[in-house]
Structures are given as C-alpha cells and as structure tokens.
Structure 1
Amino acid sequence: MINLLTKLVLKPLARAVYRPVIEGLENVPRKGGVILASNHLSFIDSVVIPLTAPRQVHFLAKAEYFTGTGLKGALSRGFFEAIGAVAVERGTYRSAQASLQSALEILEADKAFGIYPEGTRSLDGRLYRGKTGVAWLALTAGVPVVPVALEGPEEILPVGRRIPRVRKVTVRFGEPLSFTELHGQARSAQARRQVTDEVMRAIQELSGQEVATSYNELPKAA
C-alpha cells in the first residue's frame, strides 16, 4: 500500500512540481540487490533519489523521524515510510555497525539501497573522500554499485531552511560498477579502499565536482 502511494501520488506530484532532469534510468537494474551511491549536497537528497529512481530505494534515516507523537509525528512517519526509509539509531560505533547490518539485510532481500560514501553533506560543493562502508556492502553482498550524481538539491533545501523551494534539480544514474573479482574480500582494507575510490571517481565523472582530498567531517562542538 505504501509503495503504491509513492508510485501513484508522491512521484507524479514531485515530478509535476519540480520537473527534474533525470538521466540514465536504464542503468538502474530493475531486479536484485543494488547499491545507489550518490554525492550528498542536501538533506533532501534522500527524498530526491527515491522519487526519481525507477524502483524503490531504501535509505537509512534517524529513528527520531519515526517516533514522533501527534499529527506531526504521524505525518513524518508516514512520509519516510512511503519513500522507503529505514529507521536506525545513530551516533555511536555500535549504531554504525547496526546500520551496516540493516543495509546488508536490505541488499540480501534483493532490494535497492541508497548510500552517501562521503558520510555527510558537502557544504562547499566539493566531493569529499569516500568512506569504505559502501565497499564493505558491495563486497559482502556481491551486488553492483550504481553511481549517482545530484545537481541542485542544495538550492531546493539550503542548510537552515525548513520549507523546500521550487528549483531545478538534475539526477544522473551512471553505469553499474561490478566488483565480482573482489567478492568475499570485504575484510581487506586494500580491497575496500580500491572499490570506494573507484565508486567516487565514477560519481565525480557524473557530477563534475571539484575533488577534496580529505574526509568530510562534521565540525566538532565547541
């Protein structure tokens, strides 16, 4: 029922209002487990991708989006469930491991999973070094990785803004990357780094972003 709501209401409405430019839909496998690895420019990225992809894409989302009370809580929960979000706890090493396990279960169920290898949003528009969770998932589950490039979502929902604006957005789905020759080597740091770097190169080729050589870390609290 929820998936039907997304197909019949949310996707047509979003496309009618925002008229997104969508390229490479044929590159997304319609069946089987697959990872969609994207650059990350705005909170709304996890809405843009599910509403433009040719199949349901699951993202991990903070548990708080699903536990609110009253009408606001119900609307939040209903919306995130409709776009395929999966509730997880965040903030600790244990929760990070649990998140990877949740993602692995999604892939093993032959579903599509979305991930941002940079880890957090880029506030300056550059593409930061990828973290190797995407490689661990690809090598453990033995699934392809489709690179995704977003352009413009940061204009729809800039940092600090609550209500989305109507702005142009482009979504590019690249050709799937297969790592069958490395399947089973998820414990190898070298293999994980190799796969992650290849995924990031593919994202950069699609996005044209300037590359940052460092990781994109959240600023430490004063």
Structure 2
Amino acid sequence: MFYWIMKHIIAGPLLTTVFRPWVVGAENVPKHGAAIIASNHLSVIDSVFLPLYLDRRISFLAKSDYFTGKGLKGWVTRAFMTATGQIPIDRSGGKASEASLNTGLAVLGRGELLGIYPEGTRSPDARMYRGRTGVARMVLEAGVPIVPVAMVHTEKILPIGRTFPRILRPGIVFGKPLDFSRFAGLEGDRFILRSVTDELMYELQKLSEQQYVDVYATTVKDKLASVSR
C-alpha cells in the first residue's frame, strides 16, 4: 500500500510535474507474468523514476546496507527503499550471493517484475561497465524474458555525492524483450552466462549510447577510492 500511495498520490505526481521525464517504448514491458527489467545505473534516482512509468509493481534488489542505517538519515533511507519496492540483499559473495539469487527467483516465481542493475553498482563516471552474470543465471533458471532499459541523464540530476537534485529532464528508453530460451538448462555453464550477460549489455549500450568499458565498475571505484586516500 505504501508503494502505491507514494507512486500515485505523493511522489509520483510531484516528480512527473517537476522533472517531466520523457519515455520511449513503455509498451515493451509485458502486461502479465514474470519478467526482469534490466537497466543501466547512473544515479540512485533511477529506482525512483523507473517505477513511475510501469503500470505494474516492480521490486529491485538493493544492498542490505541501505536498510541498516542509524538515526534520522537511516530511517529516511530505509523508508525510501521500502517505498520504491527495493528488497535488501547481501552482496558479500559466497552463500550470500546464492541467497540473493533465490530472493530474485522468489519474486519471479510469484509472476512479478524484478528490477536489476547488471553492472552491480552505479557508474562512477556515466560510462557503462561490464555486467555481472547473476542476471543471466536468473533469466535462465526462471525462464523469463528480460527487458533492457536505458536511463538517460539521471547522473546529471543527482550524481554520486550530491544531496539535492538539479531540475533537469531525464529519459527512460525501454527496449524490446530479449528471449534467451535457447540456453534453457545451461545456467551452470559460465561461458553461457557470460554470453547472455554480454548480449544484454550490448543492447543496453545501444539504447543508452553510453561509452562501454569492459571492466567492472566496482574495480574502477576501488581504484578511485585508493587514490583519494
């Protein structure tokens, strides 16, 4: 209920009036049944604007740190994540990664939409980075279509480190659903998982027209953090 109140009564009307996002291809999102919505990730507000233009509820997988903060800021962050349909997951690897996969599969098993950022984190410089193969494994295990989505200019509205957004007009481009049923039963093959992921990232790059860099965004962020110390 909180999700729909925020979307249709509180945040939704305000954001669409102030920012006036432009949208292309929303008809490509399935009207019924489970599907993965896979997007590039430029800003934390990607998870705010994207649900506004979906008739169906969407659940995102988000790192658990967002739900464990203390004080007023922690409460606001937790409320925001809940309101935008985000589900806490542990990204520490190993058994935690398996649990995260199962969480996503449970959403798809209920016939719902699951939102995923294949890069695994926000881009540090508005370029597109190598995709993580977890999304491919979910697609093959669940046997669902995946809709590529490009967020446009959201990094200019609320870049990393900025508290208050700039009033600029973002864009959302929904691509045609991708069908990977030809790889059914091969979710244990790491070469197939990489192939599926790379095909998805290629479609995202075409939609977003970002420069593509074939390394993980987390690697770049770690290097930037070590230089700033």
**How high is the TM-score relative to the length of structure 2?**
0.88
Matching residue's letter, 1:6: M
- Residue 204 of structure 1 aligns with which residue? 205
Q: Distance in 2 between matches of 1:64 and 1:214?
A: 24
Kindly indicate whether the alpha-carbon contact (under 8 Å) linking 2:21 and 2:172 is maintained by their aligned counterparts in 1: yes
Kindly indicate whether the alpha-carbon contact (under 8 Å) linking 2:35 and 2:114 is maintained by their aligned counterparts in 1: yes
> What pairs with 1:53-64 in structure 2 (closer than 5 Å)?
53-64=54-65
1:74 Cα deviation after fit: 4.3
- Residue 168 of structure 1 aligns with which residue? 169
Kindly indicate whether the alpha-carbon contact (under 8 Å) linking 1:40 and 1:122 is maintained by their aligned counterparts in 2: yes
- Residue 219 of structure 1 aligns with which residue? 222
SS in structure 2 of the partner of residue 79 of structure 1: helix
Q: Distance in 1 between matches of 2:160 and 2:68?
A: 23
Matching residue's letter, 1:117: P
Q: Distance in 2 between matches of 1:93 and 1:105?
A: 19
- Residue 37 of structure 2 aligns with which residue? 36
Kindly indicate whether the alpha-carbon contact (under 8 Å) linking 1:147 and 1:176 is maintained by their aligned counterparts in 2: yes
Moved more, 177-186 or 121-130: 121-130
1:27 Cα deviation after fit: 0.3
- Residue 132 of structure 1 aligns with which residue? 133
1:111 Cα deviation after fit: 1.0
Change in Cα spacing, 1:215 to 1:89, as seen in structure 2 (3 Å) is closer
Kindly indicate whether the alpha-carbon contact (under 8 Å) linking 1:49 and 1:57 is maintained by their aligned counterparts in 2: no
Matching residue's letter, 1:173: F
Q: Distance in 2 between matches of 1:134 and 1:89?
A: 15
Matching residue's letter, 2:162: R
1:153 counterpart = 2:146:
no
Kindly indicate whether the alpha-carbon contact (under 8 Å) linking 1:127 and 1:212 is maintained by their aligned counterparts in 2: yes
Kindly indicate whether the alpha-carbon contact (under 8 Å) linking 1:56 and 1:83 is maintained by their aligned counterparts in 2: no
Count, aligned residues: 222
SS in structure 1 of the partner of residue 129 of structure 2: coil
Q: Deviations over 1:3-57 (max 9, x none)?
A: 3313422222211111001111100012211111111111222222222333221
Q: Distance in 1 between matches of 2:146 and 2:211?
A: 22
SS in structure 2 of the partner of residue 219 of structure 1: helix
Q: Deviations over 1:163-192 (max 9, x none)?
A: 222211001010000111212211011221
Kindly indicate whether the alpha-carbon contact (under 8 Å) linking 2:126 and 2:155 is maintained by their aligned counterparts in 1: no
Kindly indicate whether the alpha-carbon contact (under 8 Å) linking 1:28 and 1:54 is maintained by their aligned counterparts in 2: no
- Residue 5 of structure 1 aligns with which residue? 5
Moved more, 79-88 or 150-159: 79-88
Give percent identity, aligned residues only: 46
Change in Cα spacing, 1:184 to 1:6, as seen in structure 2 (3 Å) is farther
